[in-house]
Structure 1
Amino acid sequence: MYITITPQKLGGTYSQSSADFVGYLEKENQGLEQENLEHFFNQYGDEISAEEVVKDIDGNGAKLKKTEPKFYSITVSPSKYELNRLQNSSEDLKKYTRELMKDYVASFNREINGRPITIDDIKYYAKIEHQRTFKGTDFQIKENQPYATKILQLKNDIRKIESGTLEGNIKRKEKEMAKLEREAPHQQNGKRIVQGMQKDGNQSHIHIIVSRKDASNTFSLSPGSKHKASEVEMHGNKVKRGFDRDNFFQSAEKAFDKTFGYQRNFAETYKARKDFIKNPKIYFASLMKLPTNEKALAFKIMGKAGIPMMPSIPVTQAQLAMKVFNRLRRGAEVAIKSSSIGI
């Protein structure tokens, strides 16, 4: 499970409307018949139109400055193992979203009129998507890049030969290109994986747009707060503040596991991913204590995530050399950090 929380826009001033973002989330509906459309939904409603989402989010930003985000985007990406547990991706993920957003509000250390905030105090809309494309940040694209660069150079050479500005054998260069296409390490359906290519398999995931202001358009609720759960004295009164991201991510996993009876492997846990970055010795020590079957699955999951693997599984703690930790961390740090704010 990978969850990202991002503000409306990073840096500078913010658009006064959510229309562009909502329009982006409508991209998969283009060309589909009415019965196949994926609609926006919230805690209590289904089949909500994009126009209604824009109107409601845009009308809920009272007193926010141009330098403050009007909404936050939460993206929830279950792994293929988690998706395999679902019976119906769309309906099951809707059900899960509604549980997830209860954990979201519970992670705020805030009160409204002297009581903890509840699901009815936030304004959010969500949408299920079923497609993903390869991006430049994906390890498959990065590791295929040297081949892509050589292929592009050969294409440029062929154009120059055809125009008469370069001497050479076109057929020979075409054979070189075909060889590079085959040798690229990451392939899908017999073709080199390139940026923009649609990913195979079940790629269902959730996009959530949540207003910065509470449902009454009075209080500001920021999941990007730098403060964890704490109290501060303001004007002689103690005020609760902060958003506990660790609690949210861990609760999100527990909610999925409870809802669908999912047996989560060690390598899939938020705590394990966090230890991987901050305490690699603890991470691998815990990994080596797993039963054989769970350990094998953990290494399989790590490999699928693009984490560089050790030549062989070490037998003793002494073999977990620091240089191996550092190599593994460099290979996975970006992907793991992108799964949350502030690991």
Structure 2
Amino acid sequence: MYISITAQKLGGDYSQSSTDFVEYLEKENQSLEQESQEHFFNQYGDEIEAKDVVKEIDDNTAKLKKKEPKFYSITVSPSQFELRKLQNNSEDLKKYTRAIMNDYATSFNRDINGKPITVDDIKYFAKIEHQRTFKGTDKQVRENQPFATKILQLKQDIRKIENGQLEGDIKKLKFQISKLEAEAPHQQNGKRIVQGMKKEGNQSHIHIIVSRKDTFNSVSLSPGSKHKASEVVMHGKLVKRGFDRDSFFTKAESTFDKTFGYKRNYAESYKSKKDFIKNPKLYFTTLLGLPASEKAIAFKMLAKSGVPIASIPTNQVQLALKTIRYLKRGVEVAIKSGSIGI
């Protein structure tokens, strides 16, 4: 499971309104027939129109300063292993969204009118998407780039020959292009992976837009708060404050497992990420100590994420700091992937 929480961008791509972001989330529907389109939904409603989402979010910004985020974006990306447990991607992911928004609400260490925050206090809208495309920052695109550059140059040479600006053998240049296409290290369905190409397999994921203010437009609820769950005395009163991201991520993972009967492997758990960051040696020790069947699955998940499995220590003696440092970069990439991290 990979979950990210991002504040609204102020300036640049996004304006003070949520319009641009909502239109971005509508992009997938543009290429689909009406019956195949996914619509916005929230805790209690389905098929909410984009214009209504914009109005609800934009009108719910009382007393927020110009440079303060008006909303937050939560992206929830189950791994391929997790998606296989779903019977119906869209309906199951809607069910899961509504469940984790309860977890989101209870991760705020705040009271409203003397009562703990519940999902009824959260104004949000969500949308399921089923496609992803390769970005220019993806490893596959970056490592294919030298081939792409050479192919582009050859194609330009062919055009110059055709226009009489250059002499050369077009047939020979086309052969070189075909050879480079085949030699590119990252392929999908026999084709060189390029930016904008749709990723194969089940790519279902969830986008959630959450208002900064509560449903009554009276209290600011920021999941990006610098304050962890704590209490402070202000004006002589004890005030609760903060959002516990660690709690939210842990609950979201547990909610998925309980909802869909998913048996989570250590390598894909939130705990493993924390172990790796705080104590890499403990991470590898725990990995090696798993029962044989679970360890085999863990190594499969790591390999799928690009970790050099052959270099992972096989016994306690090999758990040297030098080996851990060598592996750290590979595991960091895997932990950020949708397979094994939040």
1:327/1:18 Cα in 2 relative to 1: closer, same or farther (>3 Å)? same
Q: Displacement of 1:112 after TM fit?
A: 1.0
Asked whether 1:251 is paired with 2:261, we answer no
1:214/1:320 Cα in 2 relative to 1: closer, same or farther (>3 Å)? same
Within 5 Å, which residues of 2 pair with 1:45-60?
45-60=45-60
2:321 is matched with 322
2:212 is matched with 212
Q: Is the 8 A contact 2:82 2:262 kept in 1?
A: yes
Asked whether 1:76 is paired with 2:86, we answer no
1:338/1:295 Cα in 2 relative to 1: closer, same or farther (>3 Å)? closer
Q: Displacement of 1:161 after TM fit?
A: 4.4
Q: Displacement of 1:168 after TM fit?
A: 4.4
TM-score with structure 1 length normalisation? 0.92
Q: 1:47-101 CA distances to partner (integer Å, 9 max, x unpaired)?
A: 1111111111111000111100100000000011111100000000000001000
1:293/1:150 Cα in 2 relative to 1: closer, same or farther (>3 Å)? farther
SS of the residue 1:212 aligns to: strand
1:65/1:181 Cα in 2 relative to 1: closer, same or farther (>3 Å)? same
1:13/1:292 Cα in 2 relative to 1: closer, same or farther (>3 Å)? closer
Q: Is the 8 A contact 2:77 2:204 kept in 1?
A: yes
1:327/1:176 Cα in 2 relative to 1: closer, same or farther (>3 Å)? farther
2:279 is matched with 279
SS of the residue 1:30 aligns to: helix
Q: Displacement of 1:334 after TM fit?
A: 5.5
2:222 is matched with 222
Q: 1:140-168 CA distances to partner (integer Å, 9 max, x unpaired)?
A: 22222232233233333434444555554
Instruction: State how far apart, in whole Å, the 2-side matches of 1:161 and 1:299 are.
Output: 51
Instruction: State how far apart, in whole Å, the 2-side matches of 1:13 and 1:110 are.
Output: 32
1:7 is matched with 7
1:187 is matched with 187
SS of the residue 2:45 aligns to: coil
1:268 is matched with 268
Q: 1:232-275 CA distances to partner (integer Å, 9 max, x unpaired)?
A: 22212221111111111111110000000001111111121233
1:333 is matched with 332
Unaligned runs of 5+ in 2: none
**Which amino acid letter does the alignment assign opposite residue 296 of structure 2?**
A
Within 5 Å, which residues of 2 pair with 1:160-175?
160-163=160-163, 168-175=168-175
Equivalent residue pairs, number:
339
**Which amino acid letter does the alignment assign opposite residue 50 of structure 1?**
A
2:232 is matched with 232
2:67 is matched with 67
**Which amino acid letter does the alignment assign opposite residue 34 of structure 2?**
Q
Q: Displacement of 1:302 after TM fit?
A: 1.4
1:118 is matched with 118
Q: Is the 8 A contact 2:312 2:327 kept in 1?
A: no
SS of the residue 1:311 aligns to: helix
2:148 is matched with 148
Q: 1:4-44 CA distances to partner (integer Å, 9 max, x unpaired)?
A: 11011167897231111111111122253333221111111
Asked whether 1:200 is paired with 2:210, we answer no
1:57/1:243 Cα in 2 relative to 1: closer, same or farther (>3 Å)? same
Instruction: State how far apart, in whole Å, the 2-side matches of 1:180 and 1:14 are.
Output: 39
Instruction: State how far apart, in whole Å, the 2-side matches of 1:267 and 1:197 are.
Output: 29
Q: Displacement of 1:311 after TM fit?
A: 2.2
Instruction: State how far apart, in whole Å, the 2-side matches of 1:160 and 1:83 are.
Output: 49
TM-score with structure 2 length normalisation? 0.92
Q: 1:85-124 CA distances to partner (integer Å, 9 max, x unpaired)?
A: 0000000000000100000011111111122101101100
Q: Is the 8 A contact 1:277 1:329 kept in 2?
A: no
Deviates most, 64-73 or 25-34: 25-34
Instruction: State how far apart, in whole Å, the 2-side matches of 1:137 and 1:297 are.
Output: 28
1:12/1:300 Cα in 2 relative to 1: closer, same or farther (>3 Å)? same
SS of the residue 1:253 aligns to: helix
Instruction: State how far apart, in whole Å, the 2-side matches of 1:260 and 1:245 are.
Output: 23
**Which amino acid letter does the alignment assign opposite residue 249 of structure 2?**
F
Unaligned runs of 5+ in 1: none
2:138 is matched with 138
2:292 is matched with 292
Deviates most, 139-148 or 56-65: 139-148
1:53/1:153 Cα in 2 relative to 1: closer, same or farther (>3 Å)? same
CA RMSD of aligned residues (A): 2.2
**Which amino acid letter does the alignment assign opposite residue 21 of structure 1?**
F
